[in-house]
Chain A
Amino acid sequence: MMPYFKFDYFSVDFSLVIAFVIGIAFGFVLERGGFGNARILAAQFYFSNMRVLKVMFTAIITAAIGLFYFTWIGWLDLSLVYTTDTFLIPQIVGGVFLGIGFIVGGYCPGTSFVSASTGRIDGMVYILGIFFGIFVFGETLPLFENFFNSTPMGRVTLYDYTGLSHGLVLFLVVLMALGAFAAAEWGEKIMAKKNGRSAE
C-alpha cells in the first residue's frame, strides 16, 4: 500500500536515492518543457505565452486524479500523504512575494535550478538570491513571527473545508483546469494577433 515510505518499504537512506532519481527526472522534464528559459516563464505574466498555466494545471489534475483513483482502488492511504498546514494570510502574502520575484527574476525556485544546470548565468544569480533571501528571512523571522504563525488552519483540504465530497471537488477542479486550458489557447491567439499587428 502507498505511500511506500510511510509503510516502511524502504529506509530513509534509500528514500534519498529515490528522491534524487525523481528530482533529476523532474528537472529534465521541466527543461524539455522550456521551463529553463526565463523569457518563456515571465511571458506568462504578460499573457503572451500561457505555458506555465497549462503545465501547472496539467500537473495538478494529473496528480489529483491519480490520488483520487489510487485511494478508491485501495492502493493509497491518502491520510498518510503529507499536506502542508495552512496559514491563510501569511501564505497569501508569501504567494504575492513569490509572484513578484517570479516576474522580476523570471524563475520560480525550482526552475532556477533547471536553468542554472543548463549553464544560464541568470539562473545561477537567481539561486544566489534564493540563498540570500533564506538568510535574511531566517535572521529577521523573530520580528514577524506572530504574523508568520497567524491564521493557522492546520491540515485542511478543499473537501474538508467545504464539506463537499472529494469526487465533486475533483470534478470542479478538472472543469476549472479544462476551462483554463480553453481560455489560455484563446488568449494566446488574441495576444499573437495583437503582438503581430504592433510589430507591423
Chain B
Amino acid sequence: MKEKLMKLSTPWKLAILAGILGFIALLIGNPSNKNVIDVNAKEMALATVKNQDRIDAMILADWLIKENADYTLVDLRTEKEFSEYSIPNSVNIPIESLLTSDLMRNQKILLYGNDDVASAQAWFILKSSNYKAVYILKGGMNAWKNEILFPKLDAAATAEQTAAFEKVKQVSLHFGGTPQIVSGGTATTVAAQTITAPTMPKLTAPAGKIGGAKKKKEGC
C-alpha cells in the first residue's frame, strides 16, 4: 500500500487528496450555521453597550439633514408601527430576522426600537455575530419624538434655553414636527401653522429598501 502510494506521481497524490477532502466536505454539509452564536461569557460581560455606541436623536437628525449615508438605520419595531411612522431612510427589520437580513457585517448599523430595550438586545445579537459597527439610537423612538418631533420649551425658560430651542425648532420643522412651548401644563405650538394637537408627521420619504444603495465595488 505504502509502496503504491510512493510510486504515484504528484498530480495523482494531489488529485486523491482533493477527492478525499471533497468527500469529507460532503459529510460535513454546511460548515457554519449563521443562526448559532458562540458566546464567550467573559466577552459577554465586557461587551455591554458602551456610551460611545449610543447616538443621540439630535445627532441622527443632523446626519439625516446632511444626507450622510454611511450607515443603515434599522427600525426594530413591528411592521404596523413602522408603517404608521418611521424615521426617514430607515428599514424595518424585526429583531428575529436580523441575522437572516441583508445587513453586512462591515456596515455601520444604527438600531432603534420604541425605547432602548429592543435595540440593546439587537445590539448584542449583532455584536456577538461579528457585526463590526453597531450603534443604538439613545432612547429610541420615544426620544426621537420628545427631542425632535415635539420638543418642548418651558414658558419660563431663560434666554439661553430659548436660543438653544430656536435651533431645535428648525430641526423639528424640517422633520415635520411640532415644537411646543409649555406653560403650567398646557402646551401651545409655535409652528408657523397653528395646530391644536400635535400630530405625527406624514411619511414623506419612502421607507428605505435594504441593499438599495449600490454596494461598494470590490473584487477583480
Chain A residues in the interface with B (C-beta under 8 A): 1, 6-8, 61-62, 65, 68-69, 71-72, 74, 77-80, 82, 84-85, 154, 165-168, 170-171, 173-175, 177-178, 181
Contact = CB atoms under 8 A, between A and B. Distances in A.
A167 B31 contact: yes
18 contacts: A61-B22, A65-B25, A68-B31, A69-B21, A71-B31, A72-B31, A79-B34, A79-B105, A165-B26, A165-B29, A166-B29, A167-B28, A167-B29, A168-B29, A170-B22, A170-B26, A171-B22, A175-B19
Nearest to A5: B106
A138 to B, nearest CB: 14
Interface string B1-36: 000000000010001001101110111111110100
A147 to B, nearest CB: 18
A84 B106 CA distance: 16
Interface in B196-220: 211, 215, 218-219
Interface of B: 11, 15, 18-19, 21-23, 25-32, 34, 104-106, 130, 132, 211, 215, 218-219
Contacts of A166: 25, 29-31
Contact of A165 (B18, B30, B106): B30
B15 A72 contact: no
Contacts of B23: 171
A62 B21 CA distance: 10
Most buried by A among B31, B34, B104, B218: B31
B28 to A, nearest CB: 5
Contacts of A171: 22-23, 25-26
Contacts of B30: 165-167
Contacts of A7: 132
Contacts of A77: 105, 130
Nearest to A110: B220
B88 to A, nearest CB: 25
A166 B34 CA distance: 13
B9 to A, nearest CB: 11
B130 to A, nearest CB: 6
A167 B25 contact: yes
A82 B32 CA distance: 17
A74 B31 CA distance: 9
A175 B204 CA distance: 55
Contacts of A170: 22, 25-26
Contacts of A68: 25, 28, 31
Contact of A72 (B11, B32, B105): B32
A1 B105 CA distance: 13
A82 B219 contact: yes
Contacts of A178: 15, 18-19
B99 to A, nearest CB: 10
Contacts of A78: 31-32
A15 to B, nearest CB: 11
Nearest to B34: A79
